[in-house]
Each structure stands twice: as structure tokens, then as C-alpha cells.
Amino acid sequence: MHAIYNFVSGPLAWVAFILFFGGILYQLISRAMLARKKDHYVYEYWSFFYALRSIAHWIFPFASTNSRNRPVLTIVTFVFHICIFVAPLFLFAHVSLIYEAFGISWWFMPDGVADILTLLVIGACIFFLVRRLVQPDVKYLSTPTDFILLGLVAAPFVTGYWAYHQWPGNEFMTILHMFSAEVLLVAIPFTKLNHMFLFFFTRGYMGSEFGGVRFARDW
Amino acid sequence: MNDATAVETKQIYDKGIEEGAARLTPEKIKQVYQQMMSAEAGARLKTYVQNCVSCGLCSEACHFYLSYDRDPRFSPAGKVRQTMAELMKKKGAVSVEFMKKTSEIASTECNLCKRCAQYCPFGLDVAFVMLFVRRLCHKLGISPQYIQDTAHSHSVTGNQMWVKEDEWVDSLQWQEEEAQEEIENLRIPVEKEGAEIFYSVIGPEPKFRAQLIYQAAVIFNAAGLNWTMPATPGWDNSDMAMYTGDNEIMARIKRMHFETAMRLKVKRVVMGECGHAFRSIYDVGNRALGWRMPPVEVSHSIEFFYELLRDDKIKIAEKYKPTVTIHDPCNVVRGRGLHDMLRYVVHAICENVVEMHPNREHNYCCSAGGGVINCGPPWKMKRVNGNKVKAQQLFAAKSRGAETCVAPCHNCHGGLEDIIHHNEIGMDLKFLGDIIYEVMEKPERV
């Protein structure tokens, strides 16, 4: 168990972070080059002002028409996206691991709060799962990949919660927690989870066209 | 199962698709697909197809989805899933039957109205994908027959309706003579070099709606403007090749149009009340020719009428009495943000206006645009039933007193006319020009 622990928390973590950041860079650069070759309109019509205007309307809840049309989904989605960033980044255990390894640290939240955020993420994942299974259009659109990705996102939170609360098998769960988080990190650049960074470009380009050419709102 | 779904699921025979498909083999499809992917597919296509997270947030943006009892196949993402996503997954190794259905979905179930881009959180452009699919179908020779015929007409005559050169000039003279019965000195100036305005129309105007040219002449005359129309091909600004994905012909006829404007040395092109034609010269054709924005200033009638009314160039004798409602055409509203000017014009010429909801850039499409009405009679009922939400909007406006619907777009007219007729809504349909002509002061000018 110790050997696996050391492997997952050591070399594998390095690999995951390298692939995560490297993958993001690769995706951005390769797409930018492909766009330069085949989609020169993107460069021609890109406008930072209109891109940011559009992004702003979609990154704040209830600033777009569609988000106002579906208040429940909007709240769940925003809570989910905020929590998946805040919970791991400002968790005491994570911050102290970073401190031990690199000697840098930052603000962390009380564990009780982290617990709540984790449960919110898990709850949101269940909500999304039910939505995928129940709502006809979403059910129709959902592919196996969509379910796998949802599971992949939920896994580090479920295992992390389990491990923190020292439930039976928590040693194994700790390993699984790290491992699933590493898989998730690697998956982000190479699956549609890359909307984490591509969102800014797809939304930004649509915003640029709507703002600079179409003179209409795209939110 | 209700009527609408019955119509939709029934196999519709389209000669263009069927006979084209009869000449296809899976090998040919794969070959053409791969050629097109390597030559034309870029970062946008890849991202638009592969980055959809299947959240379903685009579904309610689509009038087809809403009208066909929320059938998920009609959601914008669903259309991508059934066509381009499948093609990409199988790298073009699909059956002929699959391509027939793909052509049908891309050409007759999407108006390219881009409303879904306003509802997708990522701003993925389904219309872009559908247009790419249509281009693939064009290269495979399985575009629907009627719209393909129109593209042929563009290619041969430079206009949409097989109007011959002499017929065009004859139509102008005929309308000039008609108008002279009303206003003696009225002229329709043809080939006037250095005129300020080149008034451009679409093929159906001389063919079916010649009175619109008459009315426009009266308006130009009353405003005392220096305008002209060309006697040569290039007068037509419409473009169905743009909608079959035949980008080569599209660019060729747009060049004809712009070059005509250059030859006549006009300051600007003012175009009749057509939406797709505006899209073709304002947004698509200029890009295809390497112009970031159109090489000559281009104004849609809405903008033009707005200027005339704002500057008191024409005077309204008595406002239009019946209550009107406003249909926002996608291509000039979502495509150019003319909704406020449209309202300015309508309020300036009509006494009572009631709004349909949603409106402005969140309007529902007429379901005729994007070349769908041009796919002809085989697909008519599919499109009419695919827009029950528009029928409901019109009914709602009628219940609040609207007797007339103003729709400043030819395709919208065609689509709304069918919707109004089929659903027995009982509403008049008018262009802005119709009403302005009716209510304006018509001074004699030399």
C-alpha cells in the first residue's frame, strides 16, 4: 500500500500536472495554428472588447437570457463550477501538502466549509446525472463519454470526502482520491472538459461576431 | 402522434436528394468527406462539434424543437449529433441512406438563424456546422432539387429566378410606366453612372412582386434621391448558392453584384426588404471575396427607411390605421441589429403596434429562411408545422388586436404567409414599403 501511495502521490502526480498544463498549452497552440490556417476569420473578427462583453454575460449567473429562463439549473451549474475550483484549491490538506513540498502556501478555508462545498459538488453531479437520465433532450444527446466525464469529475470529491471522514478503507480511498484527481487533470485538456479554457475562445469569438459585425446581443 | 409528427416522420421524396444519392457509393462519400475535411475543416468545426457537452441548453432556442413537441432530434445539438458528429466519429464511413438523411436535416430542419448561438453557454455555432454539412452534400450532389435549381439559375443568369436580361429591363420599364399613371414625371433611372444609390432587389421582385419596385420608385422619387438600377446581371443581391454550400458560385455572384456597384460608381447599395440577401452581401459574400466588410456601403431597407423618416425626407400623410405587429427577420436583426430602427420606422408609419414575444434579436425565425423555403413544395408542410410557435405568437398578437404583421424580409413573407394560411390566423402581411407607399405624401418632382 505504501509503495502505491508513494507512486500515486509522487511521480504520477508530476505526470498528471505536466500533462494537464502541457495539454492545455498543446490544445491552445494547435488550435490557434489550425485556426490561422483554416479559420482566418477568427483572427480577422476577434475583438477583445466584444469577446469580454460576451464572456462577462455568460460567466455571471442570470446575466444571459437563457440563464434567467432556467433558474434552478443556473444556480446548480454556477454553484458546481465555483465549488470544483474553490474546494480543492483552498482545502487545508491541499495547501499544507503544497507547503510541505514547495514551501509556499495561501489562504485555506475551515474544513467544515470544505465539507459543504464537496457535498455541493456531489449533489450537483447527482443533479446532472438525473437530468441526463430523465430530461428527454439531454438524454437523447448524452453519449457514454458524457456519463464517464461526469463520473470522472465526481470521483475525486466522493473519494476525498470518504477519506477525510476516515470511513472504512480510507487508506485505499486516499489513493483512489489522488488517482482519480490525476486522471481528471489529464482528461481536462483532452476531452470536452477542455471547455474549461476553450469556453473563453468559443464564447469570445461568438461575442466578437455578434458585437462587431452583427450589432446584436448574444446573451 | 399528432399531425405534425406524422408529416415529419413520413418519408418525403425529393428528386434532388434521391437521384443524387442513386449515384453515390460509400467509397465516394468517404473520399469526398476526407477531401473536404483536410481542405476546409478547421478549428471552429472541430470545436463546435466536439466540444458540445450535451447540456441541452440550446434545445429551446429552436422553433423546430419547440414546434415538434420537443422532439430531441430537432434540438440544435441533436442535429449536429445526427449529422456531423456521426460523420466525424466514423471518419466519413457512412451509408448512402445516412447521407440522404443528413442532407434532409441540414437543408430542411435548420434555418441557420443562429438563435441557438445565443442560448449555448459556449457560443457554439450550429448554423456554421449545418452549413458545412450542406457544403458536403453539395459536393456529393445531394442538395434538395428546388434550391439546387435556384443555385443553377444564379450560376447561369446571375439572378435567382431565371430572369433574362431583357426581361429585367422590361420589368423596370413596365413598372415605370405603371407608376407614371400615378406620378407623371416618375423615372426608374437605369444605368445612371455616379448615382448616389444603387437600389438592388432580389430575383422574385421582377418575377412575382413587381409592385415592390414601383413602390420603391415612388419612395425614392418623393425623397428626391439620386438613385439607379443596373441594366446588367448583378442587379440581384439574393444568393441561394450560399445556402447550398456552393461557395464558388456564391462568391462569383457576389462579385458580380459588387462590381456592378463599382461600375456604376455609386456611394452605397440600398437593398429591398430581404434578409438572406443582406446576409449574403453584408456578412458572407464579402468575406468569401476577401473583404472584411462590404467593399461598398450596404444598407438594408429598414435602415434606409429609418434615415428617410428621421430626416423628414418623406412625410407621412396619415398613419396606417390597423393595429400591426412586428416580425423581426433573423438576418437583419440577429444579423445586423436593426430591430430598434425597425421599431422606429413602424411606429412612425403605424398608429398602433403590439409586440410579439420573444422579439428583437431573440425572435423566432419564420422557418422559411436559410434556404428552407427554397427547398420547395416537398418540404413545405414540414417547415410550416415546424413553426407552430410562430403561429402561436401571431395568434397571441391577434388576440391583442393585431390585424397586420409587418415583415421586412421576402423569405419571412413566404414563410409567414404559409403559417398564417395553414393555421387560419387571418392576418395581413406587409412589407414596410407597402405601408410607407400607402401612407406617405406623394409629391410630384421633376
pLDDT tens series, chain B, 446 aa: 344 444 455 689 999 999 999 999 999 999 999 999 999 999 999 999 999 999 999 999 999 999 999 999 999 999 999 999 999 999 999 999 999 999 999 999 999 999 999 999 999 999 999 999 999 999 999 999 999 999 999 999 999 999 999 999 999 999 999 999 999 889 999 999 999 999 999 999 999 899 999 999 999 999 999 999 999 999 999 999 999 999 999 999 999 999 999 999 999 999 999 999 999 999 999 999 999 999 999 999 999 999 999 999 999 999 999 999 999 999 999 999 999 999 999 999 999 999 999 999 999 999 999 999 999 999 999 999 999 999 999 999 999 999 999 999 999 999 999 999 999 999 999 999 999 999 999 887 65
Which pLDDT value is given to residue B9?
57
Range of the domain at A60: 2-214
Question: Of B44, B117, B123, which is closest to A39 when you measure between CB atoms?
Answer: B44
ipTM: 0.94
Which pLDDT value is given to residue B1?
39
Q: What residues 2-61 of chain A have any CB closer than 8 A to a CB of chain B?
A: 31-32, 34-35, 37-39, 41-42, 44-45, 54, 58
Are the C-beta atoms of B434 and B407 separated by less than 8 Å? no
Q: Are the beta carbons of A135 and B56 separated by less than 8 Å? A: yes
CA proximity to B269, closest of B175, B195, B344, B188: B195
Contacts of B292 in chain A (CB under 8 A): 44-45
Q: Are the beta carbons of A213 and B283 separated by less than 8 Å? A: yes
The CATH number assigned to the domain with range B324-439 reads 3.40.50
Which pLDDT value is given to residue A62?
96
User: What is the SS3 string spanning chain B?
Assistant: CCHHHHHHHCCCCCHHHHHHHHCCCHHHHHHHHHHHHHHHCCHHHHHHHHCCCCCCCCHHHCHHHHHCCCCHHHCHHHHHHHCHHHHHHCCCCCCHHHHHHHHHHHHHCCCCCCCHHHCCCCCCCHHHHHHHHHHHHHHHCCCCHHHHHHHHHHHHHCCCCCCCHHHHHHHHHHHHHHHHHHCCCCCCCECCCCCCEEEEECCHHHHCCCHHHHHHHHHHHHHCCCEEECCCCCCECCCCHHHHCCHHHHHHHHHHHHHHHHHCCCCEEEECCCHHHHHHHHHHHHHHCCCCCCCCEEEEHHHHHHHHHHCCCCCECCCECCCEEECCCHHHHCCCCCHHHHHHHHHHHECCEECCCCCHHHCCCCCCCCCCHHHCHHHHHHHHHCCHHHHHHHHHHHHCCCCEEECCCHHHHHHHHHHHHHCCCCCEEECHHHHHHHHECCCCCC
Amino acid at B145: Q
Question: Of B50, B78, B118, which is closest to A141 when you measure between CB atoms?
Answer: B78
Is A218 in the B-facing interface, judged by CB distances under 8 Å? Answer: yes
Contacts of A35 in chain B (CB under 8 A): 42-44
pLDDT at position A87 over 90? yes
Question: Of B40, B53, B70, which is closest to A136 when you measure between CB atoms?
Answer: B70
- Distance (Å, whole) CA B168 – CA B430: 24
Which pLDDT value is given to residue B444?
72
- Tell me whether residue A219 is in a domain: no
CA A83 to each of CA A77, A176, B57, B436: distance values in angstroms, whole numbers, following the listed order:
10, 20, 21, 57
- Tell me whether residue A75 is in a domain: yes
Is A144 in the B-facing interface, judged by CB distances under 8 Å? Answer: no
Amino acid at A151: G
Contacts of A219 in chain B (CB under 8 A): 118
Q: Are the beta carbons of B287 and A37 separated by less than 8 Å? A: no
Q: Are the beta carbons of B41 and A31 separated by less than 8 Å? A: no
For residue A60, the tally of other CB atoms under 10 A from its CB is 11
Q: Which residues pair with B320 in a beta bridge?
A: B350
Which pLDDT value is given to residue A1?
75
Best residue of A69, A72, A130, A141 to probe chain B, by most B CBs closer than 10 Å = A141
Contacts of A132 in chain B (CB under 8 A): 54
In chain B, what are the domain boundaries? Answer: 3-143, 150-310, 324-439
Contacts of B77 in chain A (CB under 8 A): 141
Contacts of B335 in chain A (CB under 8 A): 214, 216
Topology of domain B3-143 in CATH is Fumarate Reductase Iron-sulfur Protein; Chain B, domain 2 (1.10.1060)
Which pLDDT value is given to residue A170?
87
Q: What residues 149-188 of chain A have any CB closer than 8 A to a CB of chain B?
A: none
Domain count, chain A: 1
Report the residue of chain B nearest A28, measured CA to CA: B43
Question: Of A34, A54, A202, which is closest to B51 when you measure between CB atoms?
Answer: A202
Q: What is the CATH number of the domain that holds A55?
A: 1.20.950
- Output the pTM of the full model: 0.95
Q: Are the beta carbons of B59 and A137 separated by less than 8 Å? A: yes
Report the residue of chain A nearest B114, measured CA to CA: A218
Q: Are the beta carbons of A141 and B117 separated by less than 8 Å? A: no
* Cell numbers representing residue B310 in the block: 428621421
In this predicted model, what pLDDT tens digit does every residue of A27-38 receive, in sequence order? 999 999 999 999
